Structure 1
Amino acid sequence: MKDWKSIVVVLTAVSLIILLIPTLLVLPSLGKDESGELQEDSPKQEESEWTALLNDPAVEVAVYRTGSEEIEKFPLEQYIVGVVASEMPAEFELEALKAQAVAARTYVVTQLNQGNTESLPEGAVVSDSVSHQVFKSEAELKKQWGSEFEEKINKIRQAVAETAGQVITYDGKPIDASFFSTSNGFTENSEDYWENEIPYLRSVESPWDKDSPKFTQEKTFKVQEFEEKLGVNVTSEDIGTVLSRTEGERIEQIKIGGKVFTGREVREKLDLASSDFSWVMRGDEIIVKTEGFGHGVGMSQYGANGMAKEGKTYQDIVKHYYKDVTIAEAEPFLKQYMVKKGSIIFVGV
């Protein structure tokens, strides 16, 4: 009987050890704060990963600050954050902000490689003005946004981080990723506003822009001021005749007081919001009405936001406004820049 009891005790002890082994193996791997329960992804961890990515100094952008007249250098992705925050409202949909981030990155990567810096001080790649891309540092944005800074900047950072390293290419090269605020319902062919015909900058429909607060504008001139700006004389019987329109339904040519102008010329001389304009004379005043806001070539920002509200992705937005393009990695183009700059040296064997 004693032998039988001994055998039972031994078997029981062995069974307990077998049951305890998995627990003993797991316990050492648990830290002080770990409970062994299912864990949720930590937003703070994601944000720290974004911060590391956005502050990577491998490629820096030298920005001429027009206010201080100094050159400041920013890591590429941090620069993109400052551009997106300055060029597009932070309240816009995330996918629209992503499309803006890809367009802004494409612009500066092209600028880095082409080196069109004639209007800039030596050492600068871009300015912080509309001559290139509007840019504000995070310190400047904090002053502008106040208590809303954290919410807005984190949304912008997310848009930039989730498209990090992506640019728009056509025929294997980064494009001229032009963009503007609001269309008149259509974008413009490049040659109808600028001189060159660019295959990916074609006129496309953009019906979402009608919801933009900038869709229609009015500007009033005294007749004398109007005549002086255009160098013409007008009468109530003859205040101008539209001769032709572009594919994007803006003024191509217009005859005013016996002189023929392009729509762009009139827009610039009168400082109008768009080259889609009409006017009426009332007494000694001319009231000009415009539709759209900006040159109209490339991506409409309010159109992008409208597409995003309908569930379209940033890839959908980019490929709608830039025809036959590809979203590609910026790395090979950045390597070209670094080699040109002398930051990378290849040693033959």
Structure 2
Amino acid sequence: MKKAAALLFLFSLAAMAVPAAIVLLFSQNSGRQQPALQAGKALPQAAVEKDRPPAVTVAVYRSAQGKTDHVALDDYLAGVVASEMPATFHLEALKAQALAARTYIIGRIIDNPTAAVTDTVQNQVYKSRQDLEKIWGKDYGRRMAKVEAAVSQTENEVITYRGKLITPVFFSTSNGQTENAADYWTADVPYLRSVPSPWDKLSPKYKTEKTLAAAEVEHALHVKPGGGSGELGKVIRRTATHHIAVYRIAGRDFTGREIREKLNLASTDFQLIRNGGRIIATMSGSGHDVGMSQYGADGMAGEGKNAAQIAAYYYRGTSISRMTVTADHAVAIN
């Protein structure tokens, strides 16, 4: 959802409507569970509690192993939250990440129940408990307990805009302001509008530097800017959030997104300086900067904001709704 969201963004928007035929529990702006609907018929709450539906599983293609695992939904969410956000973050930030992860995967299940998702940034990064135990070592128990709490304390909760699941894009660190979706992907999305994110300035990824070979830059951009030293190209236009909108090199114009992706830069707020055969890229922020800033979420949590407040801040005009999808009806989409 950080890097590959641009490829899936417009497709995902069309997939977020909630079909009425799916078994769901949906109550806008409410923390109280409402009666479920099954094929259009109301079920008593007691029946819902007594006859719990079979667990939903997620088909996850494990890229390293070359196989597909079927993972229980809550286990999948725990693996995503643990992989996408540092477990050392405040609990409310992890809960905001859990909300985003659940919203995304429920949308995928509704759209195509049998399709597998990858365990990479193409969808959401996912690591199994065994993977995480190897990575975390002696800290595994404590960190996993915190991640599981983030998932369980947001059970059945998703982020919606006007009754529909959102595309919950997120990223690591902004340059101090998140970006408008229209300025990065060209499509305007009302809940993906720029907001100040001053907490990001405390992120270790707020200011970064990368050195590239001049030949590498020339090959990636198909330009020949010449030799010498000094700024490589120039900024033609910036967005309102100081991200680069148009950048010119050797008479050719690129979008900031094109430069970032072709050169694998951290952000679209960058400066390129040539020093002989090297290009020094200095960047502010890390990610596409659209949607929820993870370091911003942790900063807000540190100030006492809860997960719902964090989600509402970064996804403008959204609400927390409650939804469940059962295994048998998730495939029966009308």
TM-score in terms of structure 2 length: 0.80
In structure 2, what is the Cα distance between the partners aligned to 1:157 and 1:340? 24
- Which digits, 9 at most, give the CA deviation of each residue in 1:164-202, with x for residues without a partner? 110000110110000111111111111211132111111
Q: Match of 2:183, SS?
A: helix
Alpha-carbon shift at residue 270 of structure 1 (Å): 0.8
Q: Is the 8 A contact 2:230 2:274 kept in 1?
A: no
Alpha-carbon shift at residue 69 of structure 1 (Å): 1.6
What corresponds to 1:103 in structure 2? 100
- Which digits, 9 at most, give the CA deviation of each residue in 1:243-269, with x for residues without a partner? 111233211001110000000100111
What corresponds to 2:74 in structure 1? 77
- Which digits, 9 at most, give the CA deviation of each residue in 1:275-309, with x for residues without a partner? 11012222332211011111111100000001111
Q: Which runs of 5+ in 1 are unaligned?
A: 1-55, 118-122
Q: 1:289 to 1:273 in 2, by over 3 A?
A: same
Question: Could you tell me the percent identity over the aligned residues?
Answer: 49
In structure 1, what is the Cα distance between the partners aligned to 2:270 and 2:138? 40
Identify the structure with bigger relative contact order (alpha carbons < 8 Å, sequence gap 6+).
Answer: 2
Alpha-carbon shift at residue 341 of structure 1 (Å): 1.1
More helix by share: 1
- Which digits, 9 at most, give the CA deviation of each residue in 1:152-172, with x for residues without a partner? 000111111111110000110
What corresponds to 2:33 in structure 1? none
Kindly indicate whether residue 270 of structure 2 is the aligned counterpart of residue 273 of structure 1.
no
What corresponds to 2:86 in structure 1? 89
Kindly indicate whether residue 308 of structure 2 is the aligned counterpart of residue 311 of structure 1.
no
In structure 1, what is the Cα distance between the partners aligned to 2:110 and 2:179? 26
What corresponds to 2:161 in structure 1? 170
Q: 1:222 to 1:340 in 2, by over 3 A?
A: closer
What corresponds to 1:224 in structure 2? 215
In structure 1, what is the Cα distance between the partners aligned to 2:100 and 2:291? 10
Aligned residue identity for 2:186: E
Q: State the number of aligned residues.
A: 281
Q: Is the 8 A contact 1:62 1:125 kept in 2?
A: yes
In structure 2, what is the Cα distance between the partners aligned to 1:58 and 1:227? 52
Kindly indicate whether residue 192 of structure 2 is the aligned counterpart of residue 201 of structure 1.
yes
Aligned residue identity for 2:224: N
Q: Is the 8 A contact 2:68 2:116 kept in 1?
A: no
What corresponds to 2:135 in structure 1? 144
In structure 2, what is the Cα distance between the partners aligned to 1:88 and 1:340? 28
Q: Is the 8 A contact 1:71 1:124 kept in 2?
A: no
Alpha-carbon shift at residue 342 of structure 1 (Å): 4.0
Alpha-carbon shift at residue 73 of structure 1 (Å): 1.2
Equivalent residues in 2 for 1:23-34, closer than 5 Å: none
In structure 1, what is the Cα distance between the partners aligned to 2:65 and 2:160? 34
Q: Is the 8 A contact 1:112 1:125 kept in 2?
A: no
Q: Match of 2:224, SS?
A: coil
Q: Is the 8 A contact 1:189 1:201 kept in 2?
A: yes
Q: Match of 1:339, SS?
A: coil
In structure 2, what is the Cα distance between the partners aligned to 1:226 and 1:64? 33
Kindly indicate whether residue 329 of structure 2 is the aligned counterpart of residue 339 of structure 1.
yes
Runs of 4+ in structure 1 over 4 Å off: 235-238
In structure 2, what is the Cα distance between the partners aligned to 1:224 and 1:281? 11
Alpha-carbon shift at residue 310 of structure 1 (Å): 0.8
Structure 1, 128-137 or 283-292: larger mean CA deviation = 283-292
Larger C-alpha radius of gyration, 1 or 2? 1
Q: Match of 2:329, SS?
A: helix
Q: Which runs of 5+ in 2 are unaligned?
A: 1-52
What corresponds to 1:182 in structure 2? 173
Q: Is the 8 A contact 2:231 2:273 kept in 1?
A: no
- Which digits, 9 at most, give the CA deviation of each residue in 1:205-260, with x for residues without a partner? 10100111111111112323322221112244773121111233211001110000
Structure 1, 204-213 or 235-244: larger mean CA deviation = 235-244
Q: Match of 2:61, SS?
A: strand
What corresponds to 1:29 in structure 2? none
Q: 1:307 to 1:238 in 2, by over 3 A?
A: closer
Q: 1:240 aligns with which of 216, 233, 238?
A: 233
Alpha-carbon shift at residue 135 of structure 1 (Å): 0.5
Aligned residue identity for 1:314: A
What corresponds to 1:68 in structure 2? 65
Q: Is the 8 A contact 2:260 2:268 kept in 1?
A: yes
In structure 1, what is the Cα distance between the partners aligned to 2:312 and 2:163? 15
In structure 2, what is the Cα distance between the partners aligned to 1:67 and 1:224? 32
